[in-house]
Amino acid sequence: MIRALAAGALSGAEARHPIAVPEVDPIASGPDYATDVRRARALGALVDEGHVETLVEGSLRFALTSDAVSTVLLGYSSQEHLEYAATCINRGPLPAAALMRLAALWERLAQA
C-alpha cells in the first residue's frame, strides 16, 4: 500500500514556511509530521541518483506519469514556490528508470 505524506513533508525539512500552516496532521501515514519527513527522506535516493533535483520535483513529476490523473492540486507559500512547481512540471513525467527506483523505495517503506 502506498501511503501519502503530510503536506510539506517532501521538502525533507521539519521547518515550515512562515506563512504555511504551523502544524500539519499526517495524512494516512505516520503518527506525526516528523515521521512523514523521515519517510520522505527515505526517498532521497531519487535525488542522490540524479533522477530529480529535489523530492518536491519528483512528487510533481510523478503526478504527471499517470494518464488517469487529470488534475494535480498543489499548495504553495510564495511566488517562488509556484514558479518552481511550474518549472518542475515543464520537465515532464518521471522517466521509466525513476519509476522503477521509486517502486523499490516504496517497497522498503512498506516493510518499515
Query: pLDDT digit of tens for each residue in the chain (112 aa)?
Result: 344 555 566 666 677 666 666 666 655 566 777 777 788 888 899 999 999 999 889 988 998 898 888 887 777 778 888 899 999 999 999 999 999 999 999 888 776 6
- 4 part of a folded domain: no
* Helix ranges, the chain (H): 33-41, 45-48, 55-63, 79-90, 96-111
Tell me which residue range forms the domain holding 105. 9-111
- 26 part of a folded domain: yes
- 93 part of a folded domain: yes
Q: What is the pTM for the complete model shown?
A: 0.75
pLDDT of amino acid 1:
39
- 32 part of a folded domain: yes
How many CB atoms sit inside 10 A of residue 107's CB?
A: 10
- 79 part of a folded domain: yes
Evaluate whether 32 touches 26 at the Cβ level (below 8 Å): yes
State whether the Cα torsion 37-40-41-47 is positive or negative. negative
- 49 part of a folded domain: yes
Number of domains into which the chain is organized: 1
pLDDT of amino acid 72:
77
pLDDT of amino acid 5:
57
